A and B are shown apart, each in its own frame.
Chain A
Amino acid sequence: MHPQQTELALYAGGELAWWRRRRLSRHLRRCESCRAQVESFRGWRAWLRQQDELPAEVNWSRLAAEMRANIRLGLAAGECVASARPASVRWRPAALALPVLLLLLAGWVLQIWHPPVRRPAAPRGPVVAATAAGVELRQGGVVLTLLHPHASDVGRFASGEGVRVRYVDAETGMVTISHVYAE
């Protein structure tokens, strides 16, 4: 099971408690995608530090849309990788460490355990969603997004067969209509 994005972000900033940091370090040694996420968070931190001041012309709404899209993408990538990665277990070290781990785990669970929160069931069929960045179709671990990166005056319209988005393309100046179907 992968840690949450927030935990990875806190880890990248060195803001996790000692024990959680240690636990996460172990996971990161095994998990390439989480490692990449942490590196990405570190990269952004470094970039932000380098910026003495903000660029003169920041398109905040576009920036926000891109950030939201990237967060969604990161989450989707996590799900995607989780479903595709084959299990790999090193039995010997695992067997040696098992009793110690069990002991630590029992103590940790007793200390921080809370009743599990029931999450709403995810839709089983294809899901089409309009977001700030575009129209997204999720189906069986695959995500297809029709983007409108330089769009203005965006209108969204749903029907039982999908979602339609109408916008003015900033480059061509033409009204363009994206339609994503869920069948």
Chain B
Amino acid sequence: MSTRSKLALFALLAIRAWAQPEAQRPGSSLKVNFPKDAPVALVAADWGESQQSARGSALLLDLRTALTLRNLAPRAIRGVTLLVVAQAMTPGGKASVSVPGLDVKPGETFPVRIDLRLLRPGAPAGPLVEVELDGVLFEDLSFYGPNRLNSRRLMTVWELEARRDRQYYRQVLETAGAETLRRQMLEILAERPRLDVQVSRGRVTAVAPSGRSVEFACLQLPGAPLELVRGEAVVSGSQAHTPRVEVRNRSARPVRYFEVAWLLRDRFGREYLAGAIPATPDSPLPPGAGSTASQEASLRFSSASGQPLALESINGVLTQVEFADGEIWIPDRSVLEDPRWRRLLPPSAEEQRLAEIYRRQGLAALIEELKRR
């Protein structure tokens, strides 16, 4: 090839590279935006099989990325929540990715995967998706972050559950032996019935004529600081609308947040933990006082195969309380060992993590993990 031809080829390649549309480079579609004083820093971002393409006049972003973060703080990190905001959906639409159960020592790195798909009309300039830090929880339960998604409370609950469950399984190992521990891990790994769920916000203006008001069966957990007085929702077919619960504070401290879980039963008698009604009273609920919480929302449930769930009855159970001083109550482990509750309530995130260690690496690795933390 002559020098002139080589030059021409080089120029052609350069023009082609320059003219490559922005839309072909998904890396530029996502912006990671952490504050300067954040206790974690982005070390690397792997874009994997990410791609961006046009679908007619719409734009499809398929992002498969693994972010590697480093702990810059002098304490171990227990959990991280990243806020994911799509430019086309602001204000209102947002999402988050949280990783609980971490034990990242100062200076160590850890991965957080973000896999998302965005379909929107047009092809705007600038990043389509921004990832921000919503919060970091440390081993001493201190917290850093803007907490726009109440990550502090969520991650604290997960960490308290993790401590409770690790202690319990250490005790199982010491008192009942490794074989009992193995059996309990297998119980966690056993397949549970799963539901698909759809949530629409806003006031329900028209309910099908078959809609009926269904009162919750209120299940009282021993030691719970709130009494679940009553609850109801309008049910039609596989949908439940405008759930409402009434509670009374039977503790000695004001309460600023509580969560009541829904346990659904279908007409075949199968039970599912399907969701929760979170409630933040206007002012902290004083001892002895009552409060009602409701949600203008419609929830539609279907089985994993897509069949609409035939809702028969609903049980409500208190699963979480935050007092005005910031302390959090979660059910005691002894309560969860009651077979009735064990059957209804799903394993915690920590139990899921421990069971996964057992599944991937075996019993010895699990025992090592329990002894380590």
Contacts and interface: CB of A to CB of B under 8 A. Distances in A.
Interface stretch (A44-52, A103-111, A157-165): A157-165
Contact of B197 (A85, A130, A137): A130
A126 B198 CA distance: 11
Interface in A145-178: 145-149, 153-163, 166, 168-169, 171-178
Nearest to A149: B115
B2 interface: no
User: Among the interface residues B56, B96, B192, B274, which one has the most CB atoms of the partner chain A within 10 A?
Assistant: B56
Nearest to B301: A158
Contact of B201 (A76, A85, A172, A183): A183
Given A85-B56, A157-B276, A126 B117 contact: no
Interface residues of A, number: 64
Contact of B295 (A134, A156, A160): A160
Interface in B43-89: 55-58, 60, 64, 66, 84, 86, 88-89
B94 interface: yes
B304 interface: yes
A146 B304 contact: no
Contacts of A178: 95-98
Given A143-B119, A176-B99, A125 B200 contact: yes
Contact of A85 (B57, B113, B274): B57
Contacts of A132: 196, 304
Contacts of A176: 97-99, 112-113
Interface string B97-122: 11111100000000111111111111
B278 A159 contact: yes
B120 A80 contact: yes
B57 A84 contact: yes
User: Among the interface residues A140, A155, A172, A179, which one has the most CB atoms of the partner chain B within 10 A?
Assistant: A179
Given A125-B201, A126-B201, A146 B93 contact: no
Contacts of A139: 89, 92-93
Is the contact region of chain B dominated by helix, strand, or loop, or is it mixed? strand
Given A33-B55, A144-B86, A173-B360, A156 B197 contact: yes
Contacts of A125: 200-202
A156 B96 CA distance: 15
Contacts of A155: 192, 194, 346, 352
Interface of B: 55-58, 60, 64, 66, 84, 86, 88-89, 91-102, 111-122, 149, 189, 192, 194-202, 206, 243, 273-278, 295-299, 304, 346, 349-350, 352-353, 355-357, 360
Interface of A: 32-33, 36, 69, 73, 76-77, 80-81, 83-85, 121, 123-132, 134-135, 137, 139-149, 153-163, 166, 168-169, 171-183
14 contacts: A36-B56, A134-B116, A143-B117, A145-B118, A147-B115, A153-B356, A156-B196, A157-B274, A163-B199, A168-B353, A169-B113, A173-B357, A175-B350, A178-B95
